[in-house]
Structure 1
Amino acid sequence: MPDSSDTVSIGDFSRMTQLSVKTLRHYHDIGLMAPSHVDPDTGYRYYSYDQLPTAAVVRRLRALDMSIADVKAVLAADPAGRNALIGTHLQRLEAQLADTRAAVDALRDILDPPRGAWKLEHRSVPTTAAVAVHDNVDRDDLPTWWEGAVAELQATVRTQHLTQTGPPGALFGFGIFDRDHGPATVFIPATGPVRPVGRVAEYTVPAAELLVVRHDGPHDDVDLAYTELGSYATRHEISVDGPLREYYERFAWDTPDPAQWRTDLCWPIFRSDRGGRR
């Protein structure tokens, strides 16, 4: 068994990379990306922190519809060959679909990552009165479910004349990453008498100690921010299995320009102090 400080469980690796546990197991089975260690007694898979950049590249290449065989070729190639393979694939995609531009830019950021791009912050969040939509959701259905929940909540706040006290947010339970199905909650902090309607009900957002990173722009490359966030949380903090949390400080309902979107991504931790920025 390798040093536990150098490895993480498949569940934490899934949360860091935003690749589902099912996908990571599949990549192992087909020889695309093997864990750094498999416990011979339990069969549990463990990954090293050094594999995080590889996971990010694999995720982006697969998002760009590169075949498994070609992804394997990229990972096996020397730097010149790797860049040539990626360049050829990008040219083909750019000729076919203008919509791939955001994913192409994100891949280039992985190949030449900006230094010091992420500022981490400790945040203590108190319990907060809110209205919310909660359900157990399949991972693949999450974006559509999230959009519908936000629309219902905004309509409730507006028609019931509630006082919004903070930005909309969401909680994503561990099961969504570990089993591709789990609890999710979308909420809007608000005060005033709440009348349950449809899926919307009164809700108290639980207090939490969080490690936070701010993500600017669309969510196409949100996995990179989660990689930095989760890596720091599991290396330097006491990471807990509470839900990941997001706060949408500025989003589609504020501006149609995705470049102006701003989301706080939050990883739950255990703390006894009240720290500042990292």
Structure 2
Amino acid sequence: MTATVAIGEFARLTHLSVKTLRYYHEIELLEPAAVDVGTGYRRYSTDQVERAHLIRRLRDLDMPLPEIRTVLATADPAERDTTLRAHLTRMEAALERTREVVVSLRALLTAPPPPIEIDYRVEPAFTALTVTDQVEHTDIADWCGTAFEQLYLILLESGVNPGGVAGATYSNEFFTDDNGAVTAYVPLPPGVEFTPTRGFAVVDFPARHFAVAVHEGPFEDFDRTYGALGSHVAEHSAALPDEPVRERYLVGPDITDNPADYRTEVCWPITEGEL
């Protein structure tokens, strides 16, 4: 047997405030069972309590309202579970990132920056399979994961082995505007003739002079390596104007699942006379 209750009583049953219930009515997420034409008073059915509890828990998990609407409208349990699992996966990734940021912040506040070893060298010219895009700073991890997966897949399907360490170049706008051109690349073996698929390109990278530092571990502290290397270049060398910073992924996600084992070379372009 079901009954209808006033909005205040429904708020007590569901732990959703009257203000929230009115908002959910406005956006058609949780509509009352009946609305009095004369007074506008809302009444809810006790059959709606479970639905309200589900909405509340999903909001507690920061699920966006459009996704909640999709979950509620889905009759297929498998499809609903897929949506919920995808959101939980995103939540777990966000939680892991929060843990990493907390560790990084504690280190920043309590420990002096670790000494950085800087090497000066000339990177020889090479040819690479590349993909370039305008990338938001906050999207770089996901973009790189997809980009390198595609690059390695193209080489694998073509029977071509990588000719060196993969990397990426980052335009100045990527840092100054939080959005800029990023080129992911995988070197090709010397002398290999290669025709890439659409959206990818074979690019000749010229020889460049760099000041180089190695970043050990995950990327939450990446800014400290950039800060130390860039400061050293500013104090002791001359940066090459408008030349993108280059990263080389000596040990990355394609090799290990443990971010603590990552090793990334940060290559800061400098003028020839600085070697």
Question: Structure 1 length normalisation: TM-score?
Answer: 0.60
Q: Which residue of the partner structure matches residue 260 of structure 1?
A: 261
Distance 1:174 1:273, change over 3 A: closer
Residue segments in structure 1 that go unaligned for 5+ positions in a row: 1-95
Contact 1:194 1:201 in 2 (8 A): no
Q: Distance in 2 between matches of 1:235 and 1:111?
A: 25
Q: How does 1:138-217 map to 2 (within 5 A)?
A: 138-191=136-189, 192-217=192-217
Q: How does 1:26-41 map to 2 (within 5 A)?
A: none
CA offsets per residue over residues 134-183 of structure 1, 9 Å max, x none?
12333333333222211111101111122312111000011112233322
Question: Structure 2 length normalisation: TM-score?
Answer: 0.60
Q: Which residue of the partner structure matches residue 252 of structure 2?
A: 251
Q: Which residue of the partner structure matches residue 227 of structure 1?
A: 227
CA offsets per residue over residues 61-94 of structure 1, 9 Å max, x none?
xxxxxxxxxxxxxxxxxxxxxxxxxxxxxxxxxx
Distance 1:151 1:223, change over 3 A: same
**Secondary structure at the counterpart of residue 273 of structure 2:** coil
RMSD: 2.0
CA offsets per residue over residues 98-138 of structure 1, 9 Å max, x none?
65222122112212334653111112111111111012333
Q: Distance in 2 between matches of 1:98 and 1:183?
A: 28
**Secondary structure at the counterpart of residue 144 of structure 1:** helix
- The structure, 1 or 2, with the larger RCO (C-alpha pairs under 8 Å, 6+ apart) is 1
Q: Which residue of the partner structure matches residue 69 of structure 1?
A: none
Q: Distance in 2 between matches of 1:203 and 1:133?
A: 10
Contact 1:247 1:265 in 2 (8 A): yes
Q: Distance in 1 between matches of 2:263 and 2:134?
A: 26
Q: Which residue of the partner structure matches residue 118 of structure 1?
A: 116
CA offsets per residue over residues 186-214 of structure 1, 9 Å max, x none?
00011222121132221112321111110
Q: Which residue of the partner structure matches residue 238 of structure 2?
A: 238
Q: Distance in 1 between matches of 2:185 and 2:97?
A: 30
Contact 2:113 2:224 in 1 (8 A): no
Letter in 1 for 2:264: T
Q: Distance in 1 between matches of 2:113 and 2:173?
A: 32
Q: Distance in 2 between matches of 1:97 and 1:190?
A: 38
Q: Distance in 2 between matches of 1:219 and 1:209?
A: 24
Contact 1:238 1:271 in 2 (8 A): no
Q: Distance in 2 between matches of 1:157 and 1:266?
A: 25
Letter in 1 for 2:200: V
Q: CA deviation at 1:97?
A: 4.9
Which is higher, the Rg of structure 1 or of structure 2?
2
Q: CA deviation at 1:252?
A: 0.7
Residue segments in structure 2 that go unaligned for 5+ positions in a row: 1-93
Q: Distance in 2 between matches of 1:215 and 1:187?
A: 19
Q: Which residue of the partner structure matches residue 22 of structure 1?
A: none
Letter in 2 for 1:200: F
Q: Distance in 2 between matches of 1:98 and 1:247?
A: 25
Contact 2:131 2:183 in 1 (8 A): yes
Q: Distance in 1 between matches of 2:195 and 2:97?
A: 41
Relative to structure 2, which stretch is displaced further, 100-109 or 219-228?
100-109
Contact 1:122 1:212 in 2 (8 A): yes
